[in-house]
């Protein structure tokens, strides 16, 4: 049996088409403007040109054509009537009577002469519109004699020469009777309106692109390590939103850098004291002879306490440095998360006056570990520095609000904002002063906010808002 024809490889068809596609892509990229301003103007200009071209075509091809046909039908009918009257008479007196009647009633200027029409020659003319072609066509249909239409000799009149058997008729009429209006006026209106609309659109596009360019330059400078300062949101709603998001990002990054710099500068300072005490305790231990455990027990106890203090400091630094960490956000049952935080606080000995969690709290996308760390930190602070606690979680427009009140001594109004700075404590008790700084970083990373107010219980109120 003969072998079947080999099937062509798929690549033999796809590779040339892909090459052609890449070639067209390169050509289009080379022709199209590269800037957003240029492309936006092109998006406006192309539909505008198509619209104006369609309008011009509709006017020229429909309105002007119809009106010109009606006007030429009327003129050609009058000319045909005049030619027929001349064909029925022979004497000059009768012809003069016809001329007078035509001039009085049909507004045609008629004359005749007996010369041969070989002097009448075709001349070129530049008539805008279809009126000349329609007039030639209608006269050819109505007249049974050779004729010629002169558009050149007189700029205000149209002259028709009709070659009859014994005479040549010269019939003139004003061009206004054949004009459907000024075509140039319409063309000027189309072009002028297009330019005006394009200028207005270009102005608006330039304003929007200017705002985008400012945002792009600010992002580029900030990415190179130079702070351009906050942007004033201008332009469309989306551009204002992008500028506001850039300002929030800039503030958060700058605060992040400042706080991490403070941490690095403070680590050696904060660890120096316990390290010095440990060194002194070790130096005071007996170096020779038999060591009595009971005698060195207090020193060992002090060393252990200093070590635990250092471990607590280092853990606080690491937690602050991690911030929200690398945890991926996912949809979380907020009712269950808050209930777990309350249960953990109760196990730690926290006394709750009331706990109110709305049943309609939505499930929102958060980093559950980070939010749990925030709630645990605030509840622990309320237990240590406050006393009894009241917790309320309710639904709000576009998110949820968690309010935690305590009946402790509270914090002075002028000191509340400082508590969100690293290493700031509002109480004489021990603490690293990093808890609320970590809490604000985590909450703002979720697009929310945390505030400190005066509690109705007499202590401090912490209000947390998380958007959905």
Tokens 């009085």 locate to 104
Query: pTM score > 0.75 for this model?
Result: no
**Left, alpha or beta for 182 (phi > 0: left; psi -120 to 50: alpha)?**
beta
Cα–Cα distance, 417 to 449 (Å, whole number): 13
- Work out the angle at residue 441's Cα, subtended by the Cα atoms of residues 438 and 445, and round it to the nearest 5 degrees: 145
Print pLDDT tens along the chain (468 aa). 444 444 444 444 456 666 666 676 676 667 677 677 777 777 887 888 788 778 777 766 677 777 777 778 888 888 888 788 887 777 778 878 888 888 778 778 887 777 655 444 555 455 666 777 787 888 887 887 788 887 777 777 888 888 877 777 788 887 777 765 566 677 777 788 888 888 888 888 888 788 888 888 888 888 877 877 887 887 777 888 888 888 888 887 887 777 676 666 666 656 766 777 777 777 777 777 676 667 767 777 777 777 877 776 677 666 656 655 556 788 888 888 898 888 888 877 888 888 888 888 888 888 887 888 888 888 888 887 777 888 999 888 888 999 998 888 878 777 777 777 666 665 544 555 667 777 887 888 788 888 888 888 888 889 999 988
**Which tokens go with 278?**
């440990």
pLDDT of residue 119: 42
Cα–Cα distance, 244 to 211 (Å, whole number): 12
Domains in the chain: ranges and CATH: 55-183 (3.30.450.300), 326-467 (3.30.565.10)
186 touches 59 (CB < 8 A): yes
To the nearest 10°, the Cα dihedral for 235, 236, 239, 240? 70
pLDDT of residue 10: 47
């Amino acid at each position: 049996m003969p072998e079947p024809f080999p099937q062509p490889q798929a690549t033999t068809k796809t590779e040339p088409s892909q090459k052609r596609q890449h070639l067209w892509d390169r050509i289009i990229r080379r022709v199209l403007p590269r800037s957003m301003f240029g492309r936006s103007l092109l998006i406006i200009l192309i539909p505008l040109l198509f619209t104006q071209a369609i309008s011009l075509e509709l006017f020229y091809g429909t309105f002007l054509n119809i009106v010109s046909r009606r006007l030429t039908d009327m003129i050609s009918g009058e000319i045909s009537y005049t030619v027929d009257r001349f064909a029925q008479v022979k004497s000059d007196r009768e012809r003069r009577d016809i001329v007078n009647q035509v001039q009085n009633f049909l507004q045609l200027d008629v004359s005749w002469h007996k010369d041969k029409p070989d002097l009448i020659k075709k001349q070129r003319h530049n008539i805008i519109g279809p009126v000349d072609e329609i007039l030639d066509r209608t006269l050819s249909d109505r007249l049974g004699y050779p004729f010629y239409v002169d558009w050149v000799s007189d700029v205000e009149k149209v002259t028709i020469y009709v070659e009859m058997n014994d005479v040549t008729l010269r019939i003139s009429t004003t061009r206004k009777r054949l004009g459907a209006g000024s075509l140039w006026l319409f063309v000027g209106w189309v072009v002028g309106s297009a330019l005006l609309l394009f200028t207005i659109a270009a102005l608006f596009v330039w304003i929007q692109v200017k705002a985008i360019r400012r945002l792009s330059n600010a992002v580029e400078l900030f990415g190179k390590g130079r702070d351009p300062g906050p942007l004033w949101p201008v332009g469309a709603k989306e551009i204002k939103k992008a500028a506001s998001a850039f300002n929030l990002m800039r503030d958060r990054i700058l605060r992040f850098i400042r706080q991490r710099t403070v941490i690095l500068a403070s680590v050696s300072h904060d660890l120096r004291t316990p390290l010095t005490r440990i060194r002194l305790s070790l130096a005071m231990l007996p170096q020779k002879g038999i060591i009595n455990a009971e005698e060195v027990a207090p020193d060992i106890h002090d060393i252990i306490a200093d070590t635990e203090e250092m471990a607590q400091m280092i853990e606080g630094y690491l937690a602050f440095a991690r911030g929200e960490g690398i945890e991926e956000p996912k949809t979380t049952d907020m009712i269950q998360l808050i209930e777990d935080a309350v249960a953990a606080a109760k196990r730690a000995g926290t006394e709750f006056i009331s706990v109110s969690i709305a049943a309609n709290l939505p499930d929102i996308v958060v980093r559950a570990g980070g939010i749990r760390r925030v709630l645990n930190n605030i509840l622990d602070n309320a237990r240590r520095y406050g006393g009894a606690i009241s917790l309320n979680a309710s639904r709000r427009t576009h998110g949820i609000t968690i309010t935690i009140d305590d009946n402790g001594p509270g914090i002075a109004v002028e000191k509340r904002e400082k508590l969100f700075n690293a290493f700031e404590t509002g109480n004489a008790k021990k603490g690293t002063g990093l808890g609320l700084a970590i809490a604000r970083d985590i909450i703002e990373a979720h697009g929310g906010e945390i505030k400190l107010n005066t509690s109705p219980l007499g202590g401090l109120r912490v209000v947390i808002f998380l958007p959905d």
